[in-house]
């Protein structure tokens, strides 16, 4: 009996083992099937999203460059490429291991476009298996740090532009960029010094030397002033930690980027006169006197350029087509800014994106008003308009940027959008600008429809949605039965003034809660608009561009 019983027990044990192994194998298979399904779904997502970018070759007429400029240009691009590496370290430092883990080539390409595994033009949606939500402070701050923890700490540089926050011995500390990224910044500084030795232009030489010093000290003020002083340079480079958009926790810390530029001297001459008109336009702003007492600087430069290289923050996701710098409010008021219009990139977006959008969504009778000169002017005056309005709150206690913190950028972009249109309207009335107001308003409308496709997660996206929803509420345009948009030109001008008043007042009051409420109410894409935007995707109209760049330049040394 014992042997028999043991045999039966053995049979039951073997049966249980088989059942257990079968269950484990089944669970393992289910998990593998689930992961495969998730992976297939993400690859399908990427396959659909990748075509939203149209590849464009960045080029300019290099024959116009002097001998010394031909020697300098490759050095500038090499320095810019270091900024690209640094931005990767800020946005997603595990780039190499991430790319090595991805077998699908399209997903790898999409990671490179987005500088990480989050879709920048779709609310930072993760598109790589196992990746969670994007940290709102990316790598500027420790992952588990709260806003309150930093505010209560004794860190002196809590909201510093040029530092990272880290834990050391359980305490929060601030580490300057020039120490944290010392190796890369020393290399970029050396390249700028080499370029300075080769350039013939005294102003550019001074700027390059001072910017080289700034990269290794984090003291950028002197180089910003020198940059504004340049007048005759044929080349330019914007380089360093500049914009705050990537820091969505405090909108405080700056990201590395670079633009390498070739000046279009003929177009630049046409633009020079507009900066001197800023004080008069400031006086005419449709807002109470206390919100427009500040006098904008007029020692500014307004230039047109062809870009030959984008790197870092400005190359991530949607591509910048105009730049207004420096961001330092003190320098802006004392000296002004340099507004750089990136003409070849702008023309690419106009031809490849804006015109096709207008052909689908702008009323057929108004499509004739879509013109590149109007698009160029609208974008240009957006940048000029950053110099208008108010930089310090009316109570005199702080700057608008400090008062609004992470709510500052999107509202400032919204201000520039609508005040740029205000400037166009005023200059046309004065005869300082040529063309028909219908060209500018209709092209502006098409421009909004282009820009809202970037999504409502970015500062520019929120700004565009605020404008779209406000103008719609005021009857500035109507959506026809045919599903197209038709501008009401009289109401467009009225809505422009009313939105200008609203935004400048919000900024001047420095009421962050009120700005947050404005974003919740209007900084969103509603279902009807989303359906119209989906039409554009179905027709294969790209959302933005990616660049084939630098290939004609790096062999010039």
For residues 312 and 83, give the distance between their C-alpha atoms in angstroms, rounded to a whole number.
Answer: 6
- Closest to 323 measured CA to CA, from 441, 237, 403: 237
Q: Is the pLDDT of residue 485 over 50?
A: yes
104: pLDDT confidence band, cut at 50, 70 and 90? very high
Q: Is the pLDDT of residue 64 over 60?
A: yes
Q: Is the pLDDT of residue 12 over 60?
A: no
According to the model, what pLDDT value does residue 148 have? 96
381: pLDDT confidence band, cut at 50, 70 and 90? confident
For residues 419 and 426, give the distance between their C-alpha atoms in angstroms, rounded to a whole number.
Answer: 10
Q: What is the biggest distance separating any 2 CA atoms in the chain, rounded to whole angstroms? A: 113
Residues β-bridged to residue 324: 339
- Closest to 458 measured CA to CA, from 383, 542, 541, 519: 519
Q: Specify the pTM.
A: 0.80
Strands (E), 297-425: 301-312, 322-325, 338-342
Q: Which residue has the tokens 């044990």?
A: 13
- In a 10 Å sphere around its CB, with 0-12 CB exposed, 13-18 middle and 19+ buried, how is residue 176 labelled? middle
- Closest to 210 measured CA to CA, from 221, 202, 194: 221
* Strand 301-312 relative to strand 255-263, pairing: antiparallel
385: pLDDT confidence band, cut at 50, 70 and 90? confident
Centroid of chain to Cα 260? 17
Cα torsion angle, 131, 135, 138, 143, sign: negative
The arithmetic mean of pLDDT across residues 33-61, rounded, is: 85
For residues 6 and 2, give the distance between their C-alpha atoms in angstroms, rounded to a whole number.
Answer: 6
The residue extents of the domains of the chain are 342-545
Q: What is the dihedral of CA 262, 267, 270, 276, to 10 degrees?
A: -30
The arithmetic mean of pLDDT across residues 64-70, rounded, is: 94
Residue 271 has a CB neighbour count (10 Å cut-off) of 19
Q: How far is CA 428 from CA 274, 383, 385, 436, in A?
A: 12, 18, 16, 8
- Closest to 320 measured CA to CA, from 550, 91, 547: 547
Helix axes 489-509, 408-430, angle to 10 degrees: 130
Model confidence over 507-531: pLDDT tens digits? 999 999 999 999 988 888 889 999 9
Q: Is the pLDDT of residue 39 over 90?
A: no
The arithmetic mean of pLDDT across residues 179-187, rounded, is: 98
For residues 221 and 219, give the distance between their C-alpha atoms in angstroms, rounded to a whole number.
Answer: 6
According to the model, what pLDDT value does residue 5 have? 33
Decide which of 123 and 238 is more confident.
238
292: pLDDT confidence band, cut at 50, 70 and 90? very high
The arithmetic mean of pLDDT across residues 333-338, rounded, is: 84
For residues 78 and 297, give the distance between their C-alpha atoms in angstroms, rounded to a whole number.
Answer: 33
Using an 8 Å Cβ cutoff, are 515 and 506 in contact? yes
Decide which of 102 and 550 is more confident.
102
Helices (H) and strands (E) in the chain, counts: 22, 13
375: pLDDT confidence band, cut at 50, 70 and 90? very high
Using an 8 Å Cβ cutoff, are 439 and 421 in contact? no
Q: Which residue has the tokens 């500027």?
A: 140
Instruction: Tell me what the pLDDT averaged over the chain comes to.
Output: 89
Residues of the chain above pLDDT 70, percent: 90
For residues 114 and 501, give the distance between their C-alpha atoms in angstroms, rounded to a whole number.
Answer: 36
Decide which of 41 and 242 is more confident.
242
Model confidence over 126-139: pLDDT tens digits? 999 999 999 999 99
Least confidently predicted of 105-114, 187-196, 532-541: 532-541
Written as six digits, the tokens of 63 are 């024959």
């Amino acid at each position: 009996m014992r042997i028999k019983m043991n045999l039966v027990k053995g049979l039951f044990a073997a049966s249980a083992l088989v059942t257990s192994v079968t269950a484990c194998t089944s669970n393992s298979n289910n998990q593998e099937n689930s992961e495969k399904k998730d992976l297939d779904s993400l690859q399908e997502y990427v396959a659909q999203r990748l075509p939203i970018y149209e590849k464009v070759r960045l080029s300019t007429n290099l024959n116009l460059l002097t001998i010394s400029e031909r020697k300098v240009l490759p050095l500038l691009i090499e320095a810019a490429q270091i900024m690209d590496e640094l931005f990767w370290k800020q946005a997603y430092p595990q780039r190499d291991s991430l790319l090595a883990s991805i077998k699908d080539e399209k997903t790898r390409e999409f990671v490179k476009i987005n500088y990480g595994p989050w879709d920048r033009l779709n609310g930072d949606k993760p598109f790589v298996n196992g990746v969670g939500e994007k940290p709102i402070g990316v790598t500027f701050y420790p992952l588990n740090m709260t806003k309150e923890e930093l505010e209560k700490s004794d860190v002196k540089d809590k909201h510093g532009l040029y530092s990272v926050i880290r834990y050391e011995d359980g305490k929060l500390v601030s580490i300057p960029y020039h120490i944290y990224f010392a190796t890369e910044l020393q290399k970029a500084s050396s390249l700028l010094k080499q370029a300075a030795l080769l350039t013939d232009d005294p102003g550019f030489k001074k700027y390059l030397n001072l910017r080289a010093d700034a990269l290794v000290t984090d003291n950028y003020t002197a180089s910003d002033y020198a940059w504004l002083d340049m007048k005759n340079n044929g080349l330019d480079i914007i380089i360093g930690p500049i914009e705050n958009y990537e820091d969505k926790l405090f909108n405080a810390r700056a990201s590395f980027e670079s633009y390498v530029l070739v000046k279009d001297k003929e177009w630049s001459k046409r633009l020079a006169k507009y900066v001197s008109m800023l004080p008069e336009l400031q006086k005419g702003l449709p807002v109470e006197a206390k919100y427009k007492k500040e006098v904008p600087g007029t020692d500014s430069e307004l230039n047109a350029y062809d870009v030959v290289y984008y790197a870092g923050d400005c190359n991530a996701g949607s591509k910048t087509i105009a730049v207004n710098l420096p961001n330092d409010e003190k320098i802006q008021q004392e000296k002004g800014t340099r507004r750089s219009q990136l003409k070849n990139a702008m023309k690419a977006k106009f031809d490849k994106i804006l015109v096709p959008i207008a052909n689908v969504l702008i009323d057929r009778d108004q499509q004739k008003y879509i013109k590149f000169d109007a698009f160029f002017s609208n974008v240009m005056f957006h940048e000029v308009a950053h110099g208008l309005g108010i930089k310090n709150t009316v109570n005199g206690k702080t700057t608008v940027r400090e008062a609004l913190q992470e709510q500052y950028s999107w509202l400032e972009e919204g201000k520039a959008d609508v005040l740029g249109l205000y400037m166009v309207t005023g200059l046309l009335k004065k005869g300082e600008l040529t063309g028909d107001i219908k060209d500018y308003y209709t092209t502006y409308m098409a421009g909004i429809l282009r820009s809202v496709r970037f999504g409502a997660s970015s500062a520019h996206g929120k700004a565009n949605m605020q404008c779209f929803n406000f103008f719609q509420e005021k009857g500035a345009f109507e959506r026809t039965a045919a599903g197209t948009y038709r501008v009401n030109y009289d109401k467009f001008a009225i809505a422009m003034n009313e939105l200008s008043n609203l935004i400048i007042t919000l900024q001047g009051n420095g009421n962050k809660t009120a700005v947050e409420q404005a974003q919740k109410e209007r900084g969103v894409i509603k279902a009807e608009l989303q359906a119209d935007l989906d039409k554009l995707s179905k027709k294969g109209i790209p959302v933005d561009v990616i660049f084939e760049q630098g290939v004609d330049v790096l062999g010039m040394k």
